[in-house]
Amino acid sequence: MNETGKNIAVLDLTHGGIAIAKKLSLLGFGVYAVDVYQTVTDSVKSELLSIYNIGVSSDPPDIENIDTVVSPVHLDPDYILLKQAKAAGKKIISHHRIVAEILAEEKKLEKATVIEITGAQAKTSTSTMLADILSRQGDVILHTSRGLEYWTSGNCKVIHKGLSITPASILEAVDISISNNFIPDIYIFEVSIGGTGYSDLGILTTTHPDYKIAAGKKQASSAKMQIIENACCRKKRVLCINNAALDTVKCTEISNGSCQEMITFSTTYDQKADANIYLQDNRIIINYLDQHYLTIPVQGGYDPSSYTIAMAAAITASIAMGIESKMIQLCISGFSGISGRMQKYDLDGRTLIDNSNSGMNIVLAEKALRYALGIKNKKNIVMLLGEESAQVCEGLDPEDVSKFIKRHGNMIDKLILIGGRMMPVDHKDVIYVLGFEEGLNEASRISDDGDIIVSCVKCFR
């Protein structure tokens, strides 16, 4: 971290900046913390000042007193301090990159295998499947939007809940694990909008659907390329990349310029990739390096077509790490879905299609509805749609919800919209509620035995 300079301005304390600022202070840097969104409480400001000697202000410091600016990738590039730093030739690095440098400086993960997973979809499912597989041969700490978990021999224990998946949360996850005396062989981190680069294995699940960040001036897909561009601090690194997610030639050029090996995967049989892993007649077909590798039957209780990306990514990563084929087969054949991700189960005589999670979007809502429509002997369909908090990822756009209802409203017998932002969305006999649990209770109340409840709420669970 010698190139960082002595004085560092950390921008955005709402999305992980506090954890970064604390670590930098403990490492001996002079830290200016800028509360861009003015969300920091007086008690937190007092703690930062009294314990870490970090002053917090919503006003940027004088650029002349700053050597480096640390900024999240989603911040408006026209934010005043960023513009000043660029004009003055100051170093600007992302939250992702500074986390990698802090991890390298602390050396807490030197003896562990580190895996990072990013992408627009399937991050949590990929992470969880991979943790299950790898835990059969070593202890795993898994950090996802579901929480911080300890995995051993296919069994999971929740250590902590409440962390986000910002890059800075990795620092907190590591400290919480160590403080609870968990010293695993493998760490798996789900990371939003890119990777830190401090990993032995990086996985990019997909870049679609894409969306705007940084006040609409950047694409999220470009920020996710950090998982490729940020390679640092580890002796050798493997990248597992969805072949449909990016320009392979560009990726190869980046990979060849560093100590990275790239392995591509596809969810179709005919796309050129190192691993072609696809669903056919309720079986997962795995071809690797143009050779048939495995065929694995899948069980019921969930929609396997919704997990093809996650299965392809987790299986490819497992093969790359030298996991035995019988272990992969055991885990995938026994997989029964993940809570809140296209699971199907009985709820007091109703069939619940549970697709409420932090990554839920309109495309996935349409997929859940199609899944429900394909169930035989169904009666009425009751759908929950909306968001419990607009702060979950990029929120669920009310305009997209309105368009969804216009396209599919006639297929839904009863509709419950979740969240205050959905109030202007109009539909015949719609019911409005504020939260996920309230909506699920209402769905149970207004439905009967044999009905299907389709739950598609963007929320943390």
Taking residue 342's Cβ as centre, other Cβ atoms within 10 Å add up to 21
Q: What is the pLDDT of residue 460?
A: 79
- Residues 152/140, Cβ–Cβ less than 8 Å: yes
Per-residue model confidence as pLDDT tens digits over 3-57: 667 999 999 999 999 999 999 999 999 999 999 999 999 999 999 999 999 999 9
CATH for 2-94, options being 1.10.150.120, 3.40.50.720, 3.40.50.300, 3.40.1010.10: 3.40.50.720
Question: Is the pLDDT reported for residue 254 higher than 50?
Answer: yes
Query: What is d(CA 418, CA 438) in angstroms, rounded to the nearest whole number?
Result: 9
The mean pLDDT of 430-445, rounded to a whole number, is 95
Which residue in the block uniquely carries the two structure tokens 């003055």?
A: 88
CATH for 107-333, options being 3.40.1190.10, 3.40.630.30, 3.40.50.300, 1.10.760.10: 3.40.1190.10
Per-residue model confidence as pLDDT tens digits over 402-428: 999 999 999 999 999 999 999 999 888
Q: For the domain 343-458, what is the CATH code?
A: 3.90.190.20
Global confidence as pTM: 0.89
Measure Cα distances from 12 to 18, 394, 395 in Å: 8, 16, 19
**For the chain, what percent of residues have pLDDT higher than 90?**
81
Q: What is the pLDDT of residue 242?
A: 94
- Residues 285/295, Cβ–Cβ less than 8 Å: yes
Per-residue model confidence as pLDDT tens digits over 107-161: 999 999 999 999 989 999 999 999 999 999 999 999 999 999 999 999 999 999 9
Q: What is the pLDDT of residue 2?
A: 64
Average pLDDT, the chain: 92
Report phi then psi at 47, rounded to 5. -65, -45
Can the peptide bond before residue 398 be classed as cis, meaning omega within 30 degrees of 0? no
Q: What is the pLDDT of residue 390?
A: 47
Q: What is the pLDDT of residue 395?
A: 73
- Can you give the three-state secondary structure of the chain, one letter per residue? CHHHCCEEEEECCCCCHHHHHHHHHHCCCEEEEECCCCCCCHHHHHHHHHHHCCEEECCCCCHHHCCEEEECCCCCCCCHHHHHHHHCCCEEEEHHHHHHHHHHHHCCCCCCEEEEEECCCCHHHHHHHHHHHHCCCCCEEEEECCEEEEEECCEEEEEECCCCCCCCHHHHHHHHHHHCCCCCCEEEEECCCCCCCCCCEEEECCCCCCCEECCCCEEHHHHHCHHHHCCCCCCCEEEEEECCCCCHHHHHHHHHCCCEEEEEEECCCCCCCCEEEEEECCEEEEEECCEEEEEEECCCCECHHHHHHHHHHHHHHHHHCCCCHHHHHHHHHCCCCECCECEEEEECCEEEEECCECCCCHHHHHHHHHHHHCCCCCCCEEEEEEECCCCCCCCCCHHHHHHHHHHHHHHCCEEEEECHHHCCCCCCCCEEECCHHHHHHHHHHHCCCCCEEEEEEECCC
Per-residue model confidence as pLDDT tens digits over 295-310: 999 988 899 999 999 9
Domains 2-94 and 343-458 share a fold: no
Confidence of residue 391 (pLDDT cuts 50, 70, 90): very low
Q: What is the pLDDT of residue 274?
A: 96
Query: What is d(CA 185, CA 162) in angstroms, rounded to the nearest whole number?
Result: 24
Which residue in the block uniquely carries the two structure tokens 């996920």?
A: 436
The mean pLDDT of 227-240, rounded to a whole number, is 76
Q: Could you tell me which of 118, 114, 71 has the C-alpha nearest to residue 232?
A: 114
Query: What is d(CA 444, CA 451) in angstroms, rounded to the nearest whole number?
Result: 10
Q: Tell me the domain boundaries of the chain.
A: 2-94, 107-333, 343-458
